[in-house]
A and B are shown apart, each in its own frame.
Chain A
Amino acid sequence: MLLGFNALVYLLMLAPILVVIPVSFSEKEYLVFPPQGFSLRWYVNFFATRELADSLWLSLHLAAWTTALSTVLGTAAALGLVRYRYAGRSLVRELFLAPIVMPRLVLGIAFLMFLSRTVLSGSFGGLLIAHAVVAFPYVIRTVSASLVGLDRALEEAGASLGATPFTVFRTITLPLLKPGIMAGAVFAYVTSFDELVMTLFLAGPGLTTLPVQIFTYLEYTSDPTIAAISVVLVAITVVAVLVTERIVGFSRFV
């Protein structure tokens, strides 16, 4: 009985994702169940519609920059927070993790008001900074977890054999931190790629990310093009999760 109950709970969580797959291949313009016919016209429509293709490109581009920026900042910050003792350390740590608990809605409004007073208003740079602020704390968390579990005797052995601190870092510390850094990078990428609510306040001409584009579309229509986009979005996410699970054991970092 428990098995059946839990299967239903999984179905509840997965159903909205699974249902978009048949809809994306349907022939009809309106939604019917079960979907009729088989066609790729909605996928063609997705890539042929200039604004949708542009949004996908912007989202991929933004997520890549966000990941690069947050991985570097987050890894350095995690090292500085875990490895050293200094006054105000726990305060800095609290501040660094604070963006995670902030509602994205409130952050979006705050960024809108803040950016409207600067030259970054309506620019890619403004969007990138906002995304980096919400993405890098995940890198801090995963890298900190790796750092705490790291055996320092390995580094001491390297140092006692004459390696310089930088060589020890490059050839011992960094490789051992790789799983944490990679998991953090995936978190950062997915966070940016899927970000919707905060970005709604910052999107503008030429700055409409794919989730924002879908959201705006859905307020007026719901033709299966959205289903085709959704399948592409889900595929990117699933591949990211599965690949990382295979390489570094993603579930350890959750």
Chain B
Amino acid sequence: MSPPRRRWLPALLVGPTLLLLLVAFVAPLGILLVYSFYESRPGGVMIPAFTLAQYRRFLGDPFYLYVLWRTVLLGLWVTAWCIVLGYPLAYVLARTRSRTVRSVLVTLLLVPLMTSVVVRSYGWMILLANNGLINKALLALGLTSAPVQLLFNTTGVVIALVAILLPYMVLTLVPVIQNIAPALEEASQSLGASPTRMFRDVVVPLSLPGVAAGSILVFVLTIAAYATPRLVGGSRLLVMPIFVYDQTMALLNWPFASATSFILLALVLGLMALQGRLVERRSTWEHGA
């Protein structure tokens, strides 16, 4: 270790970014917090005050609470499907020995992950339409006699969000499963356990922290997702992000929008703090929905 000469150097390295974040991150969130205590009048008028009225308004109204509940429910559905579909894939990825195969499989996960959410939502609008590919396939296979309504409802949003958020689940699970020594699997099998039993009694329990971490990530990304519910869900699906957006941009009720944002934010940050304790190293790429 070099002696602590040039004490000004770390300040010079960190300082500009610290300044940027204080001005352009802490201050905006501070203003959001301050506005959430303001009073609001119709027509986008704000009156400086210190009142909990906006929070009380949201938490005391059955309709608003129903919007919150629908959002949570959507999150739970998407998370459940991501576990079911993502776990087997993560297991195979974690146990792939060939580096080339692994690189190809991971790249195939990265491409959707790094493709704009608006493109993927649009793709789902094409696929889920009444005359879209999925309905054409269902009709051709004789599984249905009339097109199934998949677009502009909750079913479509769940399908699209599961597909969009699956890479996050898989990429969270892979390192956790990799850390389970293959020797443990071999030991249990040499002691006579069937592959099913080995999987159920050894692999699954040891990977539960990873499943929990991936689930929290997917849940949080779902309840904060705006673009996909808006495009694939159409005008009928009212969830928290759409509600908050409309309060901000259409109704111009900034104090109420601020308070609602903080309710959503409290949920997200609380869960992410919990998630941080579950996995040692977070994936670089966590957001995007």
Contact = CB atoms under 8 A, between A and B. Distances in A.
Interface string A231-254: 001100110111001000111011
Nearest to A140: B17
Nearest to A130: B24
Interface stretch (B57-65, B116-124, B184-192): B116-124
Contacts of A92: 14, 18
B14 to A, nearest CB: 4
B285 A187 contact: yes
A46 interface: no
B203 interface: no
A187 B284 contact: yes
A85 B181 CA distance: 35
Contact of B244 (A100, A109, A114, A141): A109
Interface footprint category on B:
35 or more
B115 A234 contact: yes
A219 B24 CA distance: 30
A160 interface: no
A248 to B, nearest CB: 12
Question: Is chain A's binding surface mostly helix, strand, loop or mixed?
Answer: helix
Nearest to B112: A13
B25 A98 contact: yes
Contacts of B16: 73, 76
A150 interface: no
Contact of A19 (B106, B127, B248, B272): B127
24 contacts: A9-B86, A10-B89, A14-B108, A14-B111, A14-B112, A15-B123, A19-B123, A74-B17, A79-B13, A83-B10, A96-B21, A101-B286, A105-B241, A105-B264, A110-B32, A132-B20, A142-B284, A194-B114, A196-B118, A196-B227, A214-B119, A215-B118, A218-B231, A222-B126
